[in-house]
A and B are shown apart, each in its own frame.
Chain A
Amino acid sequence: MVLKVSDLTIARGGIKVLEGVSFELESGGAIVLRGPNGIGKTTLLRTIAGLQPPLAGRVDADPDSLVYAGHSDGLKATLTVEENLMFWAQVFGKKEISQAIDSFELGRLVNRPAGLLSAGQKRRLGLARLLVTGRPVWILDEPTVSLDTDAVAMFASAVRAHLARGGSTLIATHIDLGLPEAKVLEVGPFRARAAEIDDFDEAFL
Protein backbone atom coordinates (compact mmCIF):
# COMPACT_ATOMS: atom_id res chain seq x y z
CA MET A 1 0.00 0.00 0.00
CA VAL A 2 1.49 3.33 -1.07
CA LEU A 3 -1.38 5.68 -0.30
CA LYS A 4 -4.09 5.36 2.29
CA VAL A 5 -6.89 7.87 2.60
CA SER A 6 -9.00 7.46 5.71
CA ASP A 7 -12.26 9.23 6.50
CA LEU A 8 -11.15 12.39 4.74
CA THR A 9 -13.33 15.51 4.88
CA ILE A 10 -12.43 18.37 2.60
CA ALA A 11 -13.70 21.89 2.00
CA ARG A 12 -13.57 24.32 -0.85
CA GLY A 13 -13.93 27.99 -0.07
CA GLY A 14 -14.96 27.20 3.48
CA ILE A 15 -17.79 24.87 2.40
CA LYS A 16 -17.55 21.16 3.07
CA VAL A 17 -17.73 19.32 -0.25
CA LEU A 18 -16.75 15.71 0.46
CA GLU A 19 -16.75 13.76 3.69
CA GLY A 20 -15.77 10.30 4.78
CA VAL A 21 -13.62 9.59 1.74
CA SER A 22 -11.62 6.40 2.32
CA PHE A 23 -9.64 4.26 -0.08
CA GLU A 24 -6.29 2.59 -0.47
CA LEU A 25 -3.94 2.59 -3.39
CA GLU A 26 -1.68 -0.42 -3.81
CA SER A 27 1.75 -0.49 -5.36
CA GLY A 28 1.14 -1.17 -9.04
CA GLY A 29 -2.51 -0.17 -8.73
CA ALA A 30 -4.54 2.51 -10.44
CA ILE A 31 -7.68 4.26 -9.24
CA VAL A 32 -9.86 6.43 -11.43
CA LEU A 33 -11.98 9.05 -9.64
CA ARG A 34 -15.29 9.83 -11.25
CA GLY A 35 -18.05 12.25 -10.42
CA PRO A 36 -19.89 15.28 -11.76
CA ASN A 37 -18.23 18.68 -12.16
CA GLY A 38 -17.84 20.64 -8.97
CA ILE A 39 -18.15 17.69 -6.62
CA GLY A 40 -14.63 18.25 -5.35
CA LYS A 41 -12.35 15.91 -7.28
CA THR A 42 -9.73 18.60 -7.78
CA THR A 43 -9.93 19.61 -4.11
CA LEU A 44 -9.55 15.96 -3.11
CA LEU A 45 -6.47 15.52 -5.28
CA ARG A 46 -4.93 18.78 -4.03
CA THR A 47 -5.53 17.67 -0.46
CA ILE A 48 -3.87 14.32 -1.11
CA ALA A 49 -0.97 16.10 -2.79
CA GLY A 50 -0.54 18.17 0.37
CA LEU A 51 -1.44 21.52 -1.17
CA GLN A 52 -4.26 22.09 1.28
CA PRO A 53 -5.09 20.71 4.70
CA PRO A 54 -8.11 18.44 5.15
CA LEU A 55 -10.89 19.40 7.56
CA ALA A 56 -10.80 15.95 9.09
CA GLY A 57 -9.36 12.51 8.42
CA ARG A 58 -5.90 11.68 7.21
CA VAL A 59 -3.78 10.94 4.21
CA ASP A 60 -1.05 8.39 4.81
CA ALA A 61 1.67 8.35 2.22
CA ASP A 62 5.38 8.92 2.02
CA PRO A 63 5.51 12.61 1.05
CA ASP A 64 8.53 11.84 -1.11
CA SER A 65 6.57 9.36 -3.17
CA LEU A 66 3.85 11.63 -4.57
CA VAL A 67 3.94 13.75 -7.68
CA TYR A 68 1.03 15.95 -8.61
CA ALA A 69 -0.09 17.21 -12.03
CA GLY A 70 -2.93 19.71 -12.07
CA HIS A 71 -4.90 21.55 -14.71
CA SER A 72 -1.88 23.62 -15.75
CA ASP A 73 1.37 22.09 -16.83
CA GLY A 74 3.77 24.57 -15.25
CA LEU A 75 5.61 25.11 -18.50
CA LYS A 76 7.65 28.17 -19.35
CA ALA A 77 6.90 29.46 -22.83
CA THR A 78 10.40 30.80 -23.45
CA LEU A 79 12.23 27.65 -22.37
CA THR A 80 12.63 24.76 -24.77
CA VAL A 81 11.01 21.39 -24.22
CA GLU A 82 14.33 20.00 -23.06
CA GLU A 83 15.00 22.90 -20.67
CA ASN A 84 11.54 22.62 -19.18
CA LEU A 85 11.94 18.90 -18.53
CA MET A 86 15.50 19.26 -17.31
CA PHE A 87 14.42 21.89 -14.79
CA TRP A 88 11.83 19.60 -13.25
CA ALA A 89 14.26 16.69 -13.27
CA GLN A 90 16.78 18.80 -11.35
CA VAL A 91 14.18 20.04 -8.89
CA PHE A 92 13.44 16.41 -8.08
CA GLY A 93 17.15 15.57 -7.97
CA LYS A 94 17.24 13.62 -11.22
CA LYS A 95 19.20 14.05 -14.45
CA GLU A 96 17.66 11.57 -16.87
CA ILE A 97 15.01 12.91 -19.28
CA SER A 98 15.47 10.89 -22.47
CA GLN A 99 13.07 8.13 -21.47
CA ALA A 100 10.33 10.65 -20.76
CA ILE A 101 10.93 12.31 -24.12
CA ASP A 102 10.65 8.95 -25.90
CA SER A 103 7.53 7.86 -24.03
CA PHE A 104 5.58 10.92 -25.11
CA GLU A 105 7.22 11.17 -28.57
CA LEU A 106 8.67 14.59 -27.92
CA GLY A 107 11.96 13.77 -29.67
CA ARG A 108 11.35 16.04 -32.65
CA LEU A 109 10.37 18.92 -30.40
CA VAL A 110 13.19 18.99 -27.84
CA ASN A 111 14.64 22.30 -29.02
CA ARG A 112 11.36 24.04 -29.59
CA PRO A 113 10.26 26.69 -27.07
CA ALA A 114 7.28 25.39 -25.13
CA GLY A 115 5.32 28.49 -26.11
CA LEU A 116 5.27 27.30 -29.72
CA LEU A 117 3.78 23.90 -28.91
CA SER A 118 0.15 23.06 -29.58
CA ALA A 119 -2.18 22.52 -26.64
CA GLY A 120 -1.91 18.75 -26.98
CA GLN A 121 1.87 18.84 -27.25
CA LYS A 122 2.06 21.00 -24.13
CA ARG A 123 -0.05 18.50 -22.26
CA ARG A 124 2.22 15.67 -23.40
CA LEU A 125 5.20 17.64 -22.14
CA GLY A 126 3.40 18.23 -18.87
CA LEU A 127 2.80 14.49 -18.50
CA ALA A 128 6.39 13.71 -19.46
CA ARG A 129 7.32 15.73 -16.37
CA LEU A 130 5.81 12.94 -14.26
CA LEU A 131 8.33 10.46 -15.63
CA VAL A 132 11.38 12.63 -15.01
CA THR A 133 10.51 13.11 -11.34
CA GLY A 134 11.05 9.38 -10.77
CA ARG A 135 8.31 9.33 -8.13
CA PRO A 136 6.11 6.25 -7.85
CA VAL A 137 2.66 7.69 -7.06
CA TRP A 138 1.11 9.91 -9.72
CA ILE A 139 -1.75 12.18 -8.64
CA LEU A 140 -3.34 13.33 -11.89
CA ASP A 141 -6.13 15.85 -12.37
CA GLU A 142 -7.80 15.56 -15.79
CA PRO A 143 -4.58 14.44 -17.49
CA THR A 144 -6.13 13.92 -20.92
CA VAL A 145 -7.56 17.40 -21.49
CA SER A 146 -6.70 18.58 -25.03
CA LEU A 147 -5.14 15.24 -25.99
CA ASP A 148 -6.27 13.55 -29.23
CA THR A 149 -7.09 9.85 -29.41
CA ASP A 150 -3.55 8.84 -30.28
CA ALA A 151 -2.12 10.89 -27.45
CA VAL A 152 -4.62 9.41 -25.01
CA ALA A 153 -3.41 5.98 -26.06
CA MET A 154 0.16 7.21 -25.61
CA PHE A 155 -0.74 8.38 -22.13
CA ALA A 156 -2.46 5.08 -21.32
CA SER A 157 0.59 3.11 -22.35
CA ALA A 158 2.84 5.38 -20.29
CA VAL A 159 0.60 4.77 -17.28
CA ARG A 160 0.61 1.03 -17.97
CA ALA A 161 4.41 0.99 -18.16
CA HIS A 162 4.51 2.96 -14.92
CA LEU A 163 2.21 0.44 -13.22
CA ALA A 164 4.29 -2.43 -14.55
CA ARG A 165 7.36 -0.84 -12.90
CA GLY A 166 5.51 -0.99 -9.59
CA GLY A 167 4.28 2.58 -9.69
CA SER A 168 0.70 3.54 -9.00
CA THR A 169 -1.63 6.34 -9.94
CA LEU A 170 -4.74 8.18 -8.86
CA ILE A 171 -6.53 9.85 -11.78
CA ALA A 172 -9.53 12.15 -11.91
CA THR A 173 -11.03 12.04 -15.37
CA HIS A 174 -14.26 12.06 -17.36
CA ILE A 175 -13.22 10.00 -20.36
CA ASP A 176 -12.47 6.34 -20.78
CA LEU A 177 -8.69 6.01 -20.62
CA GLY A 178 -8.56 2.48 -21.95
CA LEU A 179 -7.16 1.23 -18.65
CA PRO A 180 -9.38 -1.74 -17.80
CA GLU A 181 -7.11 -2.69 -14.89
CA ALA A 182 -7.89 0.57 -13.08
CA LYS A 183 -10.38 0.52 -10.26
CA VAL A 184 -13.15 3.11 -10.53
CA LEU A 185 -14.07 5.14 -7.47
CA GLU A 186 -17.30 7.14 -7.69
CA VAL A 187 -16.93 10.30 -5.61
CA GLY A 188 -20.66 11.05 -5.60
CA PRO A 189 -21.59 9.01 -2.49
CA PHE A 190 -19.11 11.03 -0.42
CA ARG A 191 -20.84 14.33 -1.14
CA ALA A 192 -21.04 16.27 2.13
CA ARG A 193 -24.47 16.85 3.61
CA ALA A 194 -25.17 20.50 4.27
CA ALA A 195 -24.95 21.44 7.93
CA GLU A 196 -28.10 22.42 9.79
CA ILE A 197 -28.84 26.14 9.70
CA ASP A 198 -29.61 26.24 13.43
CA ASP A 199 -26.20 24.84 14.19
CA PHE A 200 -24.63 28.31 14.38
CA ASP A 201 -21.07 27.31 15.14
CA GLU A 202 -17.52 28.16 14.23
CA ALA A 203 -18.16 27.54 10.58
CA PHE A 204 -20.97 30.12 10.58
CA LEU A 205 -23.46 27.67 9.12
Chain B
Amino acid sequence: MNLNALWAYANPKKFIQATDRVLPWISILAIVSLVVGLVWGFFFTPEDYRQGSTVKIIYIHVPSALMAINAWLMMLVTSLVWIVRRHHVSALAARAAAPVGAVMTVIALATGAIWGQPMWGTWWAWDPRLTSFLILFLFYLGYMALWAAIEDDDTAADLTSILCLVGSVFALLSRYAVNFWNQGLHQGASLSLDKEENVADVFYYPLLVCIAGFVLLFIALVFLRTQTEIRARRTRALLARERMG
Protein backbone atom coordinates (compact mmCIF):
# COMPACT_ATOMS: atom_id res chain seq x y z
CA MET B 1 0.00 0.00 0.00
CA ASN B 2 1.22 3.41 -0.82
CA LEU B 3 1.79 5.16 2.48
CA ASN B 4 1.01 8.52 0.95
CA ALA B 5 -2.59 7.41 0.46
CA LEU B 6 -2.91 7.63 4.24
CA TRP B 7 -2.85 11.42 4.06
CA ALA B 8 -6.19 11.42 2.27
CA TYR B 9 -7.79 10.76 5.65
CA ALA B 10 -6.43 14.07 6.85
CA ASN B 11 -9.44 15.55 5.11
CA PRO B 12 -12.20 15.85 7.74
CA LYS B 13 -14.94 14.63 5.44
CA LYS B 14 -12.94 11.61 4.27
CA PHE B 15 -11.99 10.86 7.84
CA ILE B 16 -15.59 10.86 9.02
CA GLN B 17 -16.71 8.70 6.09
CA ALA B 18 -13.90 6.21 6.57
CA THR B 19 -14.23 5.95 10.34
CA ASP B 20 -18.02 5.66 10.05
CA ARG B 21 -17.48 2.53 8.01
CA VAL B 22 -15.04 0.86 10.41
CA LEU B 23 -16.31 2.17 13.73
CA PRO B 24 -19.10 -0.42 14.25
CA TRP B 25 -16.69 -3.28 13.55
CA ILE B 26 -14.02 -1.96 15.83
CA SER B 27 -16.56 -1.37 18.59
CA ILE B 28 -17.98 -4.89 18.28
CA LEU B 29 -14.50 -6.40 18.22
CA ALA B 30 -13.52 -4.35 21.26
CA ILE B 31 -16.57 -5.47 23.23
CA VAL B 32 -16.14 -9.11 22.22
CA SER B 33 -12.46 -9.27 23.11
CA LEU B 34 -13.02 -7.42 26.38
CA VAL B 35 -15.84 -9.78 27.38
CA VAL B 36 -13.89 -12.86 26.33
CA GLY B 37 -10.67 -11.67 27.92
CA LEU B 38 -12.23 -10.59 31.20
CA VAL B 39 -14.49 -13.62 31.60
CA TRP B 40 -11.62 -15.93 30.72
CA GLY B 41 -9.34 -14.08 33.05
CA PHE B 42 -11.72 -13.79 35.98
CA PHE B 43 -13.39 -17.19 35.93
CA PHE B 44 -11.23 -19.63 34.05
CA THR B 45 -7.75 -19.06 35.39
CA PRO B 46 -6.37 -20.61 38.57
CA GLU B 47 -5.74 -18.42 41.61
CA ASP B 48 -2.19 -17.39 42.17
CA TYR B 49 -0.61 -19.38 45.00
CA ARG B 50 0.79 -16.23 46.54
CA GLN B 51 -1.64 -13.47 45.62
CA GLY B 52 -4.92 -15.40 45.61
CA SER B 53 -7.79 -13.97 43.60
CA THR B 54 -6.50 -10.39 43.84
CA VAL B 55 -4.16 -11.14 40.97
CA LYS B 56 -7.11 -11.09 38.59
CA ILE B 57 -7.25 -7.32 38.61
CA ILE B 58 -4.20 -7.60 36.37
CA TYR B 59 -6.61 -7.98 33.42
CA ILE B 60 -7.72 -4.39 33.84
CA HIS B 61 -4.65 -2.94 35.43
CA VAL B 62 -2.01 -3.87 32.89
CA PRO B 63 -3.97 -3.00 29.71
CA SER B 64 -5.09 0.36 31.10
CA ALA B 65 -1.55 1.18 32.17
CA LEU B 66 -0.30 0.29 28.69
CA MET B 67 -2.96 2.44 27.04
CA ALA B 68 -2.22 5.34 29.40
CA ILE B 69 1.30 5.51 28.01
CA ASN B 70 0.40 4.65 24.42
CA ALA B 71 -2.30 7.31 24.31
CA TRP B 72 0.33 9.90 25.14
CA LEU B 73 2.63 8.45 22.46
CA MET B 74 -0.20 8.69 19.96
CA MET B 75 -0.80 12.31 20.97
CA LEU B 76 2.91 12.97 20.47
CA VAL B 77 2.81 11.52 16.95
CA THR B 78 -0.36 13.34 15.94
CA SER B 79 0.99 16.57 17.42
CA LEU B 80 4.12 16.19 15.32
CA VAL B 81 1.98 15.55 12.24
CA TRP B 82 0.06 18.74 12.99
CA ILE B 83 3.22 20.78 13.44
CA VAL B 84 4.84 19.43 10.28
CA ARG B 85 1.93 18.93 7.90
CA ARG B 86 -0.81 21.11 9.41
CA HIS B 87 -3.58 18.51 9.11
CA HIS B 88 -6.42 19.64 11.34
CA VAL B 89 -7.70 16.11 11.87
CA SER B 90 -4.37 15.17 13.37
CA ALA B 91 -4.54 17.94 15.96
CA LEU B 92 -8.14 17.07 16.76
CA ALA B 93 -7.23 13.40 17.15
CA ALA B 94 -4.62 14.39 19.73
CA ARG B 95 -7.25 16.45 21.50
CA ALA B 96 -9.69 13.54 21.36
CA ALA B 97 -7.17 11.06 22.75
CA ALA B 98 -6.22 13.10 25.81
CA PRO B 99 -9.30 12.48 27.99
CA VAL B 100 -9.25 8.79 27.05
CA GLY B 101 -5.60 8.57 28.05
CA ALA B 102 -6.30 10.45 31.28
CA VAL B 103 -9.12 8.05 32.18
CA MET B 104 -6.84 5.09 31.40
CA THR B 105 -4.26 6.59 33.76
CA VAL B 106 -6.87 6.94 36.50
CA ILE B 107 -8.03 3.35 35.93
CA ALA B 108 -4.45 2.14 36.13
CA LEU B 109 -3.87 4.11 39.34
CA ALA B 110 -7.16 3.03 40.91
CA THR B 111 -6.80 -0.66 40.07
CA GLY B 112 -3.21 -0.46 41.23
CA ALA B 113 -4.38 0.92 44.57
CA ILE B 114 -7.08 -1.74 44.90
CA TRP B 115 -4.51 -4.40 44.12
CA GLY B 116 -1.90 -2.86 46.33
CA GLN B 117 -4.09 -2.69 49.43
CA PRO B 118 -4.25 -6.44 50.13
CA MET B 119 -0.76 -7.06 48.72
CA TRP B 120 1.29 -4.33 50.35
CA GLY B 121 -1.14 -3.33 53.07
CA THR B 122 -1.37 0.19 51.69
CA TRP B 123 -3.44 1.96 49.07
CA TRP B 124 -0.60 4.11 47.97
CA ALA B 125 3.16 3.95 48.09
CA TRP B 126 5.62 6.31 46.44
CA ASP B 127 6.89 3.57 44.26
CA PRO B 128 8.59 4.86 41.09
CA ARG B 129 5.92 3.42 38.80
CA LEU B 130 2.99 4.73 40.81
CA THR B 131 4.64 8.12 41.04
CA SER B 132 5.37 8.23 37.32
CA PHE B 133 1.74 7.51 36.55
CA LEU B 134 0.61 10.24 38.89
CA ILE B 135 2.93 12.65 37.07
CA LEU B 136 1.64 11.40 33.71
CA PHE B 137 -1.88 12.15 34.92
CA LEU B 138 -0.79 15.70 35.77
CA PHE B 139 0.58 16.07 32.24
CA TYR B 140 -2.77 14.93 30.82
CA LEU B 141 -4.57 17.44 33.03
CA GLY B 142 -2.35 20.31 31.93
CA TYR B 143 -2.68 19.35 28.28
CA MET B 144 -6.48 19.20 28.43
CA ALA B 145 -6.69 22.41 30.44
CA LEU B 146 -4.65 24.24 27.81
CA TRP B 147 -6.94 22.99 25.01
CA ALA B 148 -9.95 24.11 26.99
CA ALA B 149 -8.53 27.53 27.83
CA ILE B 150 -7.77 28.80 24.33
CA GLU B 151 -10.58 29.98 22.13
CA ASP B 152 -8.99 29.98 18.72
CA ASP B 153 -8.74 26.39 17.51
CA ASP B 154 -5.58 26.68 15.44
CA THR B 155 -3.78 28.57 18.19
CA ALA B 156 -4.86 25.91 20.68
CA ALA B 157 -3.65 23.16 18.36
CA ASP B 158 -0.26 24.86 17.95
CA LEU B 159 0.25 25.52 21.63
CA THR B 160 -0.91 22.12 22.83
CA SER B 161 1.20 20.26 20.31
CA ILE B 162 4.31 22.14 21.43
CA LEU B 163 3.32 21.45 25.03
CA CYS B 164 2.94 17.77 24.13
CA LEU B 165 6.43 17.74 22.65
CA VAL B 166 8.06 19.51 25.57
CA GLY B 167 5.94 17.53 28.00
CA SER B 168 7.07 14.23 26.49
CA VAL B 169 10.71 15.12 27.10
CA PHE B 170 10.00 16.18 30.66
CA ALA B 171 7.78 13.15 31.32
CA LEU B 172 10.66 10.92 30.24
CA LEU B 173 13.06 12.90 32.44
CA SER B 174 10.63 12.60 35.32
CA ARG B 175 10.44 8.84 34.85
CA TYR B 176 14.19 8.51 35.31
CA ALA B 177 14.31 11.12 38.03
CA VAL B 178 11.62 9.27 39.97
CA ASN B 179 13.51 6.01 39.68
CA PHE B 180 16.60 7.68 41.01
CA TRP B 181 14.72 9.48 43.76
CA ASN B 182 12.99 6.45 45.15
CA GLN B 183 16.15 4.39 45.14
CA GLY B 184 17.66 7.13 47.19
CA LEU B 185 14.84 6.80 49.71
CA HIS B 186 14.16 3.10 50.00
CA GLN B 187 17.47 1.42 49.21
CA GLY B 188 16.15 -0.71 46.39
CA ALA B 189 12.56 -1.25 45.40
CA SER B 190 10.93 -3.56 47.88
CA LEU B 191 7.57 -3.04 46.21
CA SER B 192 8.55 -4.12 42.76
CA LEU B 193 5.78 -4.15 40.19
CA ASP B 194 7.77 -6.01 37.59
CA LYS B 195 5.14 -8.62 37.04
CA GLU B 196 5.47 -9.15 33.31
CA GLU B 197 8.37 -11.50 33.95
CA ASN B 198 6.62 -13.68 36.47
CA VAL B 199 3.28 -13.93 34.72
CA ALA B 200 2.63 -17.58 33.83
CA ASP B 201 1.12 -18.68 30.55
CA VAL B 202 -2.30 -19.36 32.06
CA PHE B 203 -2.56 -15.70 32.93
CA TYR B 204 -0.74 -14.55 29.85
CA TYR B 205 -3.20 -15.46 27.08
CA PRO B 206 -6.34 -13.91 28.58
CA LEU B 207 -4.17 -10.89 29.36
CA LEU B 208 -3.24 -10.61 25.69
CA VAL B 209 -6.94 -10.71 24.73
CA CYS B 210 -7.69 -8.01 27.27
CA ILE B 211 -4.87 -5.85 25.95
CA ALA B 212 -6.22 -6.25 22.43
CA GLY B 213 -9.66 -5.31 23.75
CA PHE B 214 -8.32 -2.17 25.39
CA VAL B 215 -6.43 -1.18 22.23
CA LEU B 216 -9.57 -1.62 20.13
CA LEU B 217 -11.64 0.23 22.71
CA PHE B 218 -9.13 3.06 22.65
CA ILE B 219 -9.19 3.24 18.84
CA ALA B 220 -12.99 3.23 18.80
CA LEU B 221 -13.19 5.96 21.42
CA VAL B 222 -10.59 8.11 19.68
CA PHE B 223 -12.34 7.73 16.31
CA LEU B 224 -15.66 8.62 17.87
CA ARG B 225 -14.28 11.56 19.79
CA THR B 226 -12.33 12.83 16.79
CA GLN B 227 -15.55 12.78 14.78
CA THR B 228 -17.21 14.76 17.56
CA GLU B 229 -14.36 17.25 17.60
CA ILE B 230 -14.53 17.65 13.82
CA ARG B 231 -18.25 18.30 13.95
CA ALA B 232 -17.89 20.69 16.87
CA ARG B 233 -15.17 22.51 15.00
CA ARG B 234 -17.35 22.74 11.91
CA THR B 235 -20.21 24.11 14.00
CA ARG B 236 -17.93 26.75 15.47
CA ALA B 237 -16.62 27.69 12.02
CA LEU B 238 -20.14 28.02 10.64
CA LEU B 239 -21.26 30.11 13.60
CA ALA B 240 -18.23 32.33 13.29
CA ARG B 241 -18.92 32.85 9.61
CA GLU B 242 -22.53 33.70 10.35
CA ARG B 243 -21.39 36.38 12.79
CA MET B 244 -19.07 37.79 10.15
CA GLY B 245 -22.07 38.26 7.87
Q: Could you tell me which A residues sit within 8 Å of B by CB distance?
A: 13-15, 17, 194-195, 197, 200-205
Contact = CB atoms under 8 A, between A and B. Distances in A.
Contacts, number: 39
Q: Looking at chain B's contact residues, is the secondary structure mostly helix, strand, loop, or mixed? A: helix
Given A200-B12, A200-B13, A205 B152 contact: no
Interface string B148-170: 00011110000000000000000
B241 interface: yes
A201 B234 CA distance: 10
Contact of A194 (B151, B154, B244): B244
Interface in B167-209: none
A15 B233 CA distance: 13
A202 B7 CA distance: 12
B238 interface: yes
B237 A14 contact: yes
B230 interface: yes
Contact of A197 (B11, B88, B238): B238
B13 A205 contact: no
Contacts of A201: 11-13
Interface string B1-32: 00000000011110000000000000000000
Contacts of A14: 152-154, 237, 240
7 contacts: A13-B151, A13-B152, A14-B152, A15-B241, A201-B11, A202-B11, A202-B12
A204 B237 contact: yes
A205 B234 CA distance: 7
A52 to B, nearest CB: 11
A204 B233 contact: yes
B12 A13 contact: no
Contacts of B154: 14
Contacts of B153: 14
Contacts of B11: 201-202
Of all A-B residue pairs in the complex, the 8 with the closest CB atoms, nearest first, are A204-B237, A200-B13, A204-B234, A205-B237, A204-B233, A13-B152, A15-B240, A194-B241
Nearest to A202: B88
A67 B20 CA distance: 51
Contacts of B230: 204
A197 B88 CA distance: 18
B234 A200 contact: yes
Nearest to A17: B244
